[in-house]
């Protein structure tokens, strides 16, 4: 199986699932990345390499709706060391401004390196001569360099979907140089925001000693590496089409009725993760209700918390904390048939999410740190009548684009309360002015624009810089 375009991601765009009768099959994963890359893969007769979840070994290649997929297996030890360990207990908190304390274990690093090598070898095996390989996200930061050593003929791109931290935080990582050198195997390293690309360039100059100029790195072997921002987005037209459908609007009406037809519905939709700021936003809402700024008969907060990394201790603790908080808020402020918070610990298909976005009057997205956050863009795309209000954290990447939202500092509880109240009380004219501008931004900068801009830029990075560069210095 040879391909001119190879996508390498930690996960496949399908999950391995077991049916009620015990047979195992494949189910399409939700998510914007699949939507973005599917047409690109099809146009180039490409291949997607990734892990389907679970510990099944020796899975055969498959085709799903015209996409060629190559499943990678993981052992229980690799899941613990590479995925739950180094990826999600070391890199994830470190790259999210230390919202939680990262753990540094040498065994996890060994597992991370070994899994990255297997992914690189598989990509080297299937990429056609002179082909393009696009590597995705923080679980695979060593793959570019490993792949470059195996296949110097390839065009290699890497895209980081989460934030990239400043030097003061990144340099805590014992394997900081190996990660930077791993990423420098790519021709183009993409980030969500310009600040992240600048952090990377600065670290390469300081810690690896390469010559840099603006967004370029000049390597001693003559290669040029570019680091730049490519803010990711959504299938805006697809979400709007879904939101306009009769079934979704009928379901939105059902949701409002099930909640007792309150005057205003607040909505939060997040993975259950400590970076998302769920606890603080619920507390802010409950204080507004406690102080009689919002009445339980007028408003309800619907919080969808999608289960996440449930084998990791920090995530189990967070779930218990939020369960207790919701119980306390409803016990103190709710009435029979009128909870203050309607809490749903579950995941839902796109149609149900679109119905929730249509039903909600105020969308609340308040992470402590987020690479982009696509939920707020999905909400905006679904508000085709130019109504609704968005309360958005300054520390979500999306805040750079959606400037007309009510922007908040999620660490400032009083500031968050003020923003929630302003959004709750905003008149239709104010909502329309803000929403129109945000909808234009989301429609213009959609997922297709993101994918095509990255691939075009990768093709245009000069292969040779022809400059004199000084030898490496030690980190």
Whole-angstrom distance, CA of residue 110 vs CA of residue 219: 26
Indicate the burial class of 353 (C-beta count within 10 angstroms; 0-12, 13-18, 19 or more): buried
DSSP for 203-238 reads HIIIII--EEETTEEE-TTS-EEEEEE------HHH
With bands split at pLDDT 50, 70 and 90, how would you rate the model's confidence at 47?
very high
Where is average pLDDT lowest: 229-233, 337-341, 442-446, 462-466? 462-466
H/E stretch holding 135 reads strand 127-136
pLDDT of 475 over the 50 cut: no
The predicted pLDDT at position 373 comes to 94
pLDDT at 25: 78
**Residue that is written with structure tokens 């008149």 in the block:** 427
Quick one: average pLDDT of 138-151?
98
| Confidence label for 233 from pLDDT (cuts 50, 70 and 90) | very high
Q: Which two tokens stand for residue 27?
A: 């189910």
Residues 6+ apart with CB under 8 A from 23: none
Please state the domain extents for the chain: 3-232+451-460, 236-444
pLDDT tier at 313 (50, 70, 90 boundaries)? confident
Which helix H or strand E contains 10, and what residues bound it? strand 3-11
pLDDT at position 143 is 98
pLDDT tens readout for residues 276-299: 999 999 999 999 999 999 999 999
The highest-level CATH class for domain 3-232+451-460 is alpha beta
Percentages of the chain per state (helix, strand, coil), in multiples of 5: 45, 20, 35
Give the range among 33-47, 193-207, 439-453 with minimum mean pLDDT: 33-47
Exposed, middle or buried by CB within 10 Å (0-12, 13-18, 19+), for 221? Answer: exposed
| Cα 416 to Cα 89, 277, 365, distances in angstroms | 29, 11, 11
Confidence of residue 172 (pLDDT cuts 50, 70, 90): very high
Across the strands, what pairs with 157?
Answer: 134, 188
Distance CA 53, CA 56 (A): 8
The pLDDT, as a whole number, for residue 17 is 75
Q: What is the pLDDT of residues 243-272, one digit of tens each?
A: 999 999 999 999 999 999 999 999 999 999
CA angle centred on 155, ends 463 and 42, rounded to 5°: 145
Does the pLDDT value for residue 320 go beyond 50? yes
Q: What's the pLDDT score for residue 264?
A: 98
Residue 180 confidence (pLDDT) above 90: yes
What pLDDT was estimated at residue 21? 84
d(Cα 341, Cα 281) in Å, to the nearest integer?
11
pLDDT tier for residue 23 given thresholds of 50, 70 and 90: confident
Residue with tokens 């047409």: 39
- How many Å apart are CA 430 and CA 288, to the nearest integer? 22
The mean pLDDT of the chain is 94
Percentage of the residues of the chain whose pLDDT score is greater than 90: 83
Could you count the other beta carbons within 10 Å of the beta carbon of residue 285? 28
Q: What mean pLDDT do residues 426-453 have?
A: 96
Pairing type for strands 224-229 and 188-191 reads: parallel
CB 320 within 8 A of CB 274: no
pLDDT per residue over 334-350, tens digit each?
999 999 999 999 989 89
- E strands in 320-454: 341-344, 362-365, 389-393, 406-408
What mean pLDDT is predicted for residues 443-452? 93
Higher pLDDT, 468 or 114: 114
The pLDDT value given to residue 428: 97
Provide the pLDDT for residue 32. 61
pLDDT at 192 over 90: yes
pTM of this structure: 0.95
Residue 31, pLDDT score: 62
- Specify the pLDDT at position 30: 61
Q: What is the pLDDT of residue 168?
A: 96
Angle ∠(190,193,199) on CA atoms, nearest 5? 80
Which pLDDT belongs to residue 136? 96
Question: Over 90: is that where the pLDDT of 198 sits?
Answer: yes
In this predicted structure, which of 24-33, 371-380, 419-428 has the lowest mean pLDDT? Answer: 24-33
Residues ≥6 apart with Cβ < 8 Å to 347: 30, 306, 307
> 236-444 is classed in which CATH architecture?
3-Layer(aba) Sandwich (3.40)
pLDDT in tens, 403-429: 999 999 999 999 999 999 999 999 999
Same-fold call for 3-232+451-460 versus 236-444: yes
């Amino acid at each position: 199986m040879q391909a001119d375009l190879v996508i390498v991601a930690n996960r496949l765009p399908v999950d391995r699932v077991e049916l009620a009768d015990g047979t195992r099959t494949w189910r399409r994963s939700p998510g914007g990345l699949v939507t973005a890359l599917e047409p690109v893969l099809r146009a180039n007769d490409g291949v997607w390499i990734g892990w389907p979840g679970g510990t099944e070994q020796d899975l055969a290649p498959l085709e799903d709706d015209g996409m060629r997929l190559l499943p990678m297996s993981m052992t229980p030890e690799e899941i613990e060391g590479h995925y739950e360990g180094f990826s999600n207990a070391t890199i994830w908190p470190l790259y999210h401004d230390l919202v939680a304390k990262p753990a540094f274990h040498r065994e996890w690093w060994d597992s991370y390196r070994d899994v990255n090598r297997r992914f690189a070898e598989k990509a080297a095996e299937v990429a056609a001569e002179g082909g393009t390989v696009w590597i995705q996200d923080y679980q695979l930061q060593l793959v570019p360099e490993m792949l470059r050593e195996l296949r110097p003929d390839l065009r290699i791109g890497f895209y980081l979907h989460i934030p990239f931290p400043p030097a003061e935080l990144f340099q805590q990582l014992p394997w900081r140089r190996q990660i930077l050198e791993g990423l420098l195997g790519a021709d183009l390293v993409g980030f969500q925001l310009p600040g992240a690309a600048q952090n990377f360039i600065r670290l390469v100059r300081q810690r690896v000693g390469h010559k840099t100029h603006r967004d370029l790195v000049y390597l001693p072997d003559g290669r040029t590496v570019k680091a730049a921002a490519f803010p990711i987005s959504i299938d805006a037209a697809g979400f709007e089409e879904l939101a306009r459908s009769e079934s979704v609007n009928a379901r939105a009406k059902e949701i409002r009725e099930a909640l007792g037809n309150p005057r205003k519905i607040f909505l939060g939709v997040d993975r259950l993760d400590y970076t998302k700021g769920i606890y603080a936003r619920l507390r802010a809402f409950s204080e507004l209700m406690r102080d009689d700024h919002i009445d339980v008969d007028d408003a309800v907060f619907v919080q969808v918390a999608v289960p996440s990394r449930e084998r990791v201790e920090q995530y189990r603790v967070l779930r218990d904390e939020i369960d207790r908080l919701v119980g306390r808020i409803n016990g103190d402020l709710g009435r029979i048939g009128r909870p203050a918070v309607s809490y749903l610990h579950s995941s839902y298909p796109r149609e149900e999410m679109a119905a929730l976005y249509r039903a909600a009057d105020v969308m609340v997205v308040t992470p402590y740190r987020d690479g982009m956050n696509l939920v707020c863009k999905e909400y905006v795309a679904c508000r085709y009548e130019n109504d609704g209000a968005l309360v958005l954290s300054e520390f979500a990447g999306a805040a750079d684009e959606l400037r007309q939202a009510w922007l908040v500092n999620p660490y400032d509880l009083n500031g968050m309360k003020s923003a929630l109240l302003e959004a709750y009380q905003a008149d239709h004219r104010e909502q329309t002015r803000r929403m129109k501008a945000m909808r234009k931004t989301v429609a213009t900068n959609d997922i297709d624009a993101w994918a095509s801009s990255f691939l075009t830029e990768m093709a245009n990075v000069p292969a040779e810089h022809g400059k004199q560069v000084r030898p490496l210095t030690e980190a």
